[in-house]
Amino acid sequence: MLQKKQPIALYAALLLLNAVAQSGPLFAQTIPSLRETFKNDFGIGTALNNAQIDERDPQMTAFIARQFNMATPENVMKSALLHPQWDTYDFTMGDKLIEFGKKHDIKINGHTLIWHSQLPGFIRGIHSKDSIQTFFTNHIKTVAGHYKGKVYSWDVVNEALNEDGTMRKSVFLQYLGDNFVTEAFRLAQEASPGTELYYNDYNNEQPKKRAGCIELVKKIKAAGVRIDGVGIQGHWHVGKIPLKDIEESILQYSALGLKVMFTELDIEVLSRNFQGADVGQRMTANAQSNPYPTALPDSVQQQLAADYEALFKLFLKHKDKVTRVTFWGVNDANSWLNNWPIRGRTSYPLLFDRNSQPKPAFYKVIATAK
C-alpha cells in the first residue's frame, strides 16, 4: 500500500513552533543540525556573504555554525575584489573569512583563483600575452601563497568549458592557449603544496561537458600536475534533476582517482529559458517572471522536497566518493537566484526560508540519513 504524503499543513505547524523559538537566542538549537546529521558521510557547506563573514547578526552566526562545517566565499576571494589594481591586493574580507572558519570550526574552500568572470577592471585594458601571463602567474602565486595553510582547498579554475565540452573562449584561452588550466594547477600546487586543488564547473554532469571535463583532468594528470577533485556546481531546476547523469558523473570522475563534490547546490523553482549558471546570461522581466512573490505553492514545495530527498539519497549511496555538499547560500533570502537571471525575483531554492526556518525539503534531507 502506498504511503500518503505528509500534508504541508503539518510542516506549517512545525514552522510556527520554530517561528516562536526564533524570537530567542536558542533558535539555532531547536532544529536538527545538517553538519551533525551527515558528519560521518560528507562535509556540509554553504556560501557566505560579507554580512555573514562580518558576523553582523549573532543569531545568523550561531545558525551557520550549527548547520555547516564547510564554507565557500560567495564573492570576497574573486579577483575583482581581492586584486583590484595591478599591484594592489586587498585580503581584508578573505582574512576575516579565515578567522570566521577558525572560530566556528568551519573549513574554508577558496573560490576562485582563475575565472573568466568578475575579473579586475584593469584586465580590459590589457591586450598582450606577456601582460596577461604576468597577471595570471602573479595572481595565483600571491593569492594561493597568502592563504597557504589557511584554506583546505581551492577551486583553482572555474568554468573553463563550453556546454559541448570544448574550451570556453576566455581571455585566458585567447592569450595563454589551452594549457592555461594545467599551468594554473601547477602554480597553485607550487604556491600552496598542502592544499587540495579542484576544477569547478556547472553542467559538468551532462555527457558532453563531462567528457570535456574528463579530458581536461587527464591532460592535467598527464603533465604530472596534481588535481585532487572535481566540483559539480549543482544549479538544477525543480522537477528536472538529472539523477542518472549525476550518478554516472560521480562514477566516472571517481574512476580517475578524483574526489567528487557538489559545490554550489540550489534548485531553481522559477521559470528560465536556458539551462546552466552562466552569469553573463540574462532574461527580461515580464508579468509572469515572478509568480510566487509571497509564498511557494504546496505542490512546488512538495516537488522541491522530493528533489532534495532524491539527491541526498544518491549522495549517501556514493558517500565513499562524495566528500562535500555545499549549498549556494544559507537561506532563500541570500540566494543569488533572487537577482539572476532577472533582478528582484522571489526565489525559494534552498533548505531554509528567508527567516532561516526549515522547509519541508530540510526534513526530507535529514530523514535520508536515518
Q: Are 157 and 205 in contact (CB under 8 A)?
A: no
Joined together, the cell numbers standing for residue 342 give 532577472
Strands 229-232 and 259-268: parallel
Residue matched to cell numbers 545538517: 34
Joined together, the cell numbers standing for residue 293 give 512573490
DSSP string, 115-131: ESSS--GGGGG---HHH
From the candidates 159, 183, 196, 205, give the one annotated as an active-site residue.
159
Q: Are 35 and 66 in contact (CB under 8 A)?
A: yes
From the candidates 183, 205, 264, 268, give the one annotated as an active-site residue.
264
Q: Does residue 159 have an active-site annotation?
A: yes
Q: Does residue 264 have an active-site annotation?
A: yes
Short-list 351, 345, 343, 349, CA closest to 367: 351
Cis peptide before 291 (omega within 30 of 0): no
For 364-369, the CB contacts below 8 A with 24+ separation are 364/305, 364/306, 364/308, 364/309, 364/312, 365/34, 365/308, 365/309, 365/312, 366/32, 366/34, 366/37, 367/309, 368/309, 368/312, 368/313, 368/316, 369/37, 369/38, 369/41, 369/312, 369/316
Which active-site residues does the annotation give? Answer: 159, 264
